[in-house]
Amino acid sequence: MQAEVEQALARLFHAPMQVARMQLLPGGASKEAWLVDAAGADGQKELLLRRAGGGVIYVDTLSLAAEHQVLQAAFAAGVKVPRTYGYIADLAGREAFVMQRVAGESIGRRIVQRPELAAARGRLPLQMAEQLAKIHATPRARLPALPYHGDPGLTAIERMIGRLEEGLDASDEPHPALELGVAWLRRQAPAVAACADTVLVHGDFRIGNLMVDAQGLVAVLDWEFAHLGDPVEDLAWPLVRAWRFGVDHLRLGGIGEVEPYLDHYNRLTGRNITAAQLFYWEVAGNIRWAIGSLTQARRHLSGQERSVELAVLGRLACEMEYEVLSLIEREAYARPA
Amino acid sequence: MQDRPNASELAQAVLEFLQNEIAPQIQDARLKFRMLVASNGLGILARELAQGEALLQKEWLRLSALLQTSQAKPSGLAELRAEVLKLNRTLTARIRADRAPPDTYEAVKDLARDKLRIASPRYLERYRP
């Protein structure tokens, strides 16, 4: 494939390019990520090449063409994202795009635990709020056609509840704990103000998808779940307990407190998102990730992607079940009549 | 009847071999992580083989009482499993229809705790709201 990559890079950079190193990174079967070092007239470029995988496709993920456009729009809106160098419709038979390779740490467990990242953790809450404020201000006109994750005629909360119910039905196993969680969401919905704005939602904004160095946040990664929706969804997702990577007492991703993060976001955006709204979407986020784990295990069971990681993940959904039950217990509405 | 080690003890023996003798030899970080995940899977298996049937019996009793069914307890393990699945489906449908019996929350939380005892006992021990 090296010759095809060199040809494509030459077109994108308008100059001959020579690949010095090329390595397929371990990870997703649905999309490939290649580390590419290429030398051209103006020196060496450290690149990351994203390329479609061999036919295994997640539902609700963007095509690489759309993801590339979203990255461009976010970059133009001042979001910290890797710079993109162009889309390739056909790279050895599959679509791809090229972007800058950013240095730093993106493994969640290391970000929340490594001593040398302590100062970065101190900065992250406000930096995360700032990035979300910018993501949510990305002009819609610059974006490709993005999914709503449901009927645009419904409210964001109705769409979210509908998706969770569909997810539970598709797992084809009964999960009373998650059903109680969804019942709680249904009952509470009228009391929860929906944010009036429909914005670009990153869809997977959390520790583990953020590149971090000693100074703090370097880049927001993994845009394939981007869609249009309620900004509170993004704001609450990094609170989900699984994304605290063992540092559970720090509700914001195992790295900080929620209040300064929420206050900073509200100050920057002029929105008035409340702790109660955030809590509501935190419950929803935990249910979503429980269903996500069950779905991942089914990718293994169906033979779509055999993997011991995916298999074991199915058994860990009960961690999220327990968290959901504990969260709703704190509210007066926990017990169904 | 098979000789000892029994199924749970055998899973535990393989787990200890992987953890103590194989894991330290692995250099690659990604492979090391997957090794950890695999050991975790074997741990779940060992615990389920040891405690799974007793917890299933308990779940049947709890759900039968909650849903006020008056069927006799199934004798075989496969039948018990099928019956517990059915009870869970009934309960789930009732919660979805907003017709959950009183005390559903307490029962479900208790059963979620039992799932964690097999799947992730350390999560349960460390859990603070």
Question: What are A131-148's pLDDT values in tens digits?
Answer: 999 999 999 999 999 999
**% of residues, chain B, pLDDT over 70:** 100
Contacts of A27 (CB under 8 A, 6+ apart): A33
B60 to chain A, closest Cα gap in Å: 14
Instruction: Identify the pLDDT of residue A56.
Output: 54
Interface touch B113/A309, C-beta < 8 Å: no
Would you state the torsion angle of the CA atoms of residues A59, A128, A68, B30, taken in this order, to the nearest 10 degrees? -70
CB proximity under 8 Å: A 25-84 to B: 26
ipTM score? 0.96
A212: tokens are 């971090």
Count of CB atoms situated within 10 Å of the CB of A76: 12
Q: Quick check: A312 and B41 CB within 8 A?
A: yes
- The yes-or-no verdict on residue A155 having pLDDT over 80 is yes
What topology does CATH give the domain A2-100? Answer: Phosphorylase Kinase; domain 1 (3.30.200)
* CA-closest candidate to residue A226, choices A119, A75, A67: A67
Backbone angles phi, psi at A204, to 5 degrees: -155, 40
Question: CA B78, CA A8: separation in Å to the nearest integer?
Answer: 58
A172 — pLDDT class (breaks 50, 70, 90): confident
Which CATH number describes the domain made up of A121-329? 3.90.1200.10
Q: Which of A43-52, A326-335, B109-118 has the highest mean pLDDT?
A: B109-118
For residue B40, give the chain A residue with the closest CA. Answer: A312
**Domain residue spans in chain A?**
2-100, 121-329
Question: What are the tens digits of pLDDT across the range A178-214?
Answer: 999 999 999 999 988 777 789 999 999 999 999 999 9
Question: Between vectors from CA A25 to CA A19 and to CA A30, what angle results, nearest 5°?
Answer: 115
Confidence of residue A16 (pLDDT cuts 50, 70, 90): very high
CA distance A265 to A285: 19
In this structure, are residues A254 and A212 in contact, taking their beta carbons and an 8 Å threshold?
A: no
Q: What is the rounded average pLDDT of the residues A96-120? A: 96
> Tokens 């986020």 identify what position?
A285
- The ranges assigned to domains in chain B are 7-126
Q: What is the pLDDT of residues A238-290, one digit of tens each?
A: 999 999 999 999 999 999 999 999 999 999 999 999 999 999 999 999 999 99
Residue pair A200/A135 in contact (Cβ under 8 Å)? The answer is yes
Is cis: bond before B129, omega within 30 of 0?
Answer: no
pLDDT band at A60 (very low <50, low <70, confident <90, very high): confident
Chain B residues close to A182, C-beta within 8 Å: 96
Q: In one letter, which amino acid is B88? A: N
Q: What is the pLDDT of residues A85-107, one digit of tens each?
A: 999 999 999 999 999 999 999 99
Alpha-carbon torsion, ordered B113, B119, B122, B125, to 10 deg: 10
In chain B, % helix, strand, coil (3-state, to 5) comes to 80, 0, 20
Residue A8 CA to residue A292 CA, distance in Å, equals: 36
Check residue A224 and report its DSSP letter.
T
Cβ atoms of residues A241 and A107 within 8 Å: no
3-state secondary structure of B7: helix
Name residues 291-330 of chain A within 8 A of B (Cβ): 308-309, 311-312, 315-316, 318-319, 321-322, 325-326, 329-330
Mean predicted confidence (pLDDT) in B68-83: 93
Strand partners, A219: A211
Min CA distance, B108 vs chain A (Å)?
Answer: 6
Angle among Cα A325, A202, A287 to the nearest 5 degrees reads 15
Q: Which residue has the tokens 């609700």?
A: A60
For residues B21-30, b (16+ Cβ closer than 10 Å) or e, as one string? eeeeeeeeee
With beta carbons under 8 A apart, name residues in chain A contacting B40: 312
A131 three-class SS: helix
Which of B81, B109, B111 to probe by mutation at the A interface, max A CB count within 10 Å? B109
Q: Token pair for residue A17? A: 């390019």
Name residue, tokens 């020196």: A43
pLDDT of residue A28: 62
